[in-house]
Structures are given as C-alpha cells and as structure tokens.
Amino acid sequence: MRDSCNFEAVQAKVAALRTDIVRMITAAGSGHPGGSLSAVEIMATLYFGGVLNYDAENPKAEARDRFILSKGHAAPVLYATLANAGYFPREELTTLRAFGSRLQGHPDSLKLPGVEVSTGSLGQGLSISSGLAYALAFPASAQSPTVFTLLGDGELQEGQVWEAAMFAAHYRLSNLVAIIDNNELQIDGAVSEVMDVRDISAKLSSFGWYVLEADGHDVRALYKELTTAKAHKEGPAVVVAHTVKGKGVSFMENQCGWHGKAPNAEQCAAALDELCAPGEAALSVSDRPADREVV
C-alpha cells in the first residue's frame, strides 16, 4: 500500500473503466451495467490508488492482497479493472459473454488471471473471504496479505452473509476488509422495499466490525477510508460506500431496470457522449461476436 495517491490518475482510470463497461456490455448484448457502474470508483481506488497490493505479471504471488467480487454479476467492472491493470489486453473486453471467451457472465477463476474465486451466487463472497483471511492470518504476521471483498447491499439479504460476519468478528480477522456497494437498488426494485436491510453500519458494528463510511464516488474519501480499514488491526473492517446505481450515465442512474440490461448501439453512443469519450465510436451490432453466453 502506497503512502500517497495520485488522485488525478485514479480519476482518469474511472473514466476509462466506465467507457469500457458500456462498450463491452453493448458488444455482448447482455450484462449488468447498473451495479458495475456504481462500483467504478471503488475498484479504481483499490487497484490504481495503491490500496491493493498486486502484480499483474505475477498474479499468484504469495504476498499479494486478494480481491473477491462477491457480487459476481458485476463482472464487467472487474474485467475492465483487470484489463486496465495489465492482466490481459483491453481489446479482449469486447468478447464478454462470448462462447469460449475467458470473460464469462460471472468471473471464472479457472479461466482468467486476477480472478481469485469464481463468484455469482450471492451471499457466498464474505464466507469465502473470511475463510481465506483466516488461513492467511496464521501464523500471525504483520505482513499477512489483506483480503478485500465487494458486496452489494441487496446481497445482505442473504443469511450466509451474517454467519460470515459473526465468524470474522469472532476470530478477529484484522486482514479482512469488506466493502458494501450501497446503491439502494436491486433487480426487483429498492432494497428497502424488497427486503429492508435497514441500518447496515449499525448492524455490522453490533457484530463487532470496525465500520467506516464514504461517498462511493469520491476517490479521495474512498482512499482515506480504505487505507484506514486496511491498517486497522483489531478485527475485521468494513467500508459502507454510498453509491448511485448506473453512475455516470444519466438515463441509467437510479433505475433498477438497468440492473441487467444491455444498451443498444444508440444508447451506447449517448452514454459515451456523457462519459466524455470524444472520437471513440460506439460498438455497432456488427461488432458483436455471433455466439454469446445466455445467462
């Protein structure tokens, strides 16, 4: 973890990730833009702000920090991040969901470097991350890698999340950092209306977690809280990041209908205009590989 952060460089990556997400989902004709766009600043701060210790040229380095995308349907934001970090060519992003592609609808750790665990079944990521953090913490060492995991707020409706939260607190897993993408929407509507998870911070605090909160679209605020969480050595830490589903594209923002729907070519062009990508043409239907995964 670096002692300082080049926030302008991180912000430039934010713009790149958003355009990559829109392009790849348009090319695929399916995917999950809403929850991918809401998590962009989180991912950019982790990978390009110096919070996460990784080596794209040596993805299995023992000393690396681990990142687990618990909300696996937001694979586009992970793929865009890994490509921009140098794990694989950015050109491969437009193969999203194509048969035979390494970029499946949900992350596959057997296919793609940088993917630690195959995810997609909601609720499992915190359990996996807790077990991994437990294993990495023994024998105890100040240099133990940190395990980061990103969950959606709707995902907190899964009971398994709270079993893992108890486990992590009980074993005082100070090398575990959870991040909640708190965009307040899920596929069927507002989280508060589908199954209200109420005060996330108060709940996790009552379980024994060190709780921090941040504007999930402010890279400076995220850097401050993520580095604080990583440095905390008295048990597991969580950053509740308050975000906007579909952030950056006006017609997708705060619209649960964009949870799992691809923009068409016209919508893609409009989105890219908003995302300040001059001179970069939107993908057309003819750019799409013929064979796509149906999920």
Per-residue model confidence (pLDDT) at position 140: 58
Q: Is residue 293 part of a domain?
A: no
Per-residue model confidence (pLDDT) at position 261: 97
Per-residue model confidence (pLDDT) at position 287: 45
Per-residue model confidence (pLDDT) at position 251: 98
Per-residue model confidence (pLDDT) at position 138: 79
Residue 38 tokens read as 């809401």
Q: Is residue 136 part of a domain?
A: yes
Per-residue model confidence (pLDDT) at position 229: 98
Residue 156 half-sphere exposure toward CB, CA atoms < 13 A: 25
Q: Is residue 295 part of a domain?
A: no
Q: Is residue 292 part of a domain?
A: no
Distance CA 114, CA 87 (A): 7
Q: Is residue 138 part of a domain?
A: yes
Q: Is residue 89 part of a domain?
A: yes
Per-residue model confidence (pLDDT) at position 278: 44
Q: Is residue 2 part of a domain?
A: no
Number of separate domains in the chain: 1
- DSSP letters of 225-262? HHHHHHH--SS-EEEEEE--TTTT-TTTTT-GGGSS--
Per-residue model confidence (pLDDT) at position 143: 74
Per-residue model confidence (pLDDT) at position 276: 75
Print the domain residue range for 49. 7-287
CB 184 within 8 A of CB 245: yes
**Which CATH number does the domain housing residue 47 bear?**
3.40.50.970
CB 102 within 8 A of CB 92: yes
Q: Is residue 1 part of a domain?
A: no
Under-50 pLDDT residues of the chain: 277-290, 292-295
